[in-house]
């Protein structure tokens, strides 16, 4: 599947681009209100969250800074390998930090990110995920802002990929 092109007309569209746009606008308003009078440091989790973060930050009307870290646990598979690799050179000491993630599924990646970033002693550390999969036995990580709750499906588009492909699709489609 990784080397073939997928015909998305034959796959279920789980979330349309207009549904995503409206929800991102709502999240931007909520985050702006919650962090009013404070400077927010948005930490995008690459590669999947770059489109979501770009759209989200344009809906936030408070001062903010944007930085990134890279996290990987999937390689070219549909299931997490269980091993998370993090790469960054961030300095978030004393800062209001919001980690922006594409999808909260097992919670393993966010758990590793939170453990890593807590060592820098940020003033606050919260998470925002576009999608949260309804799966049992998630890691105990609190995600303050969630765009959409979805069933345990394999999804691509709007930044989410399969083997680094299909991130550019403007909606979210199911591959299973």
The residues assigned a catalytic role are 105
Counting runs of H as helices and runs of E as strands, what totals does the chain give?
3, 9
Distance set, CA 128 to CA 1, 17, 30, 110, 176 (Å): 30, 19, 11, 10, 25
- Cis omega before residue 47 (within 30°)? yes
Joined together, the tokens standing for residue 150 give 């979805």
Joined together, the tokens standing for residue 84 give 């998370």
Neighbours of 47 (CB within 10 A): 17
CA gap 135, 138 in Å, rounded? 7
Say if residues 133 and 105 touch (Cβ distance below 8 Å).
Answer: yes
């Amino acid at each position: 599947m990784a080397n073939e092109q997928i015909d998305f007309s034959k796959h279920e569209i789980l979330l349309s681009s207009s549904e995503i746009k409206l929800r991102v606008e709502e999240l931007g308003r909520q985050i702006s209100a919650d962090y009013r009078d404070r400077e927010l440091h948005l930490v995008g989790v690459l590669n999947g969250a770059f489109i979501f973060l770009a759209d989200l930050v344009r809906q936030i009307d408070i001062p903010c800074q944007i930085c990134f870290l890279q996290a990987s646990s999937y390689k070219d598979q549909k299931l997490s390998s269980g091993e998370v690799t993090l790469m960054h050179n961030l300095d978030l000491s004393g800062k209001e930090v919001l980690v922006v993630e594409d999808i909260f599924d097992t919670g393993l990646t966010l758990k590793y990110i939170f453990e890593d970033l807590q060592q820098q002693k940020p003033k606050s550390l919260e998470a925002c995920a576009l999608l949260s999969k309804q799966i049992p036995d998630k890691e105990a990580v609190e995600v303050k802002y969630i765009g959409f709750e979805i069933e345990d499906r394999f999804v691509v588009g709007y930044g989410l990929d399969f083997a680094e492909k299909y991130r550019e699709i403007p909606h979210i489609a199911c591959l299973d």
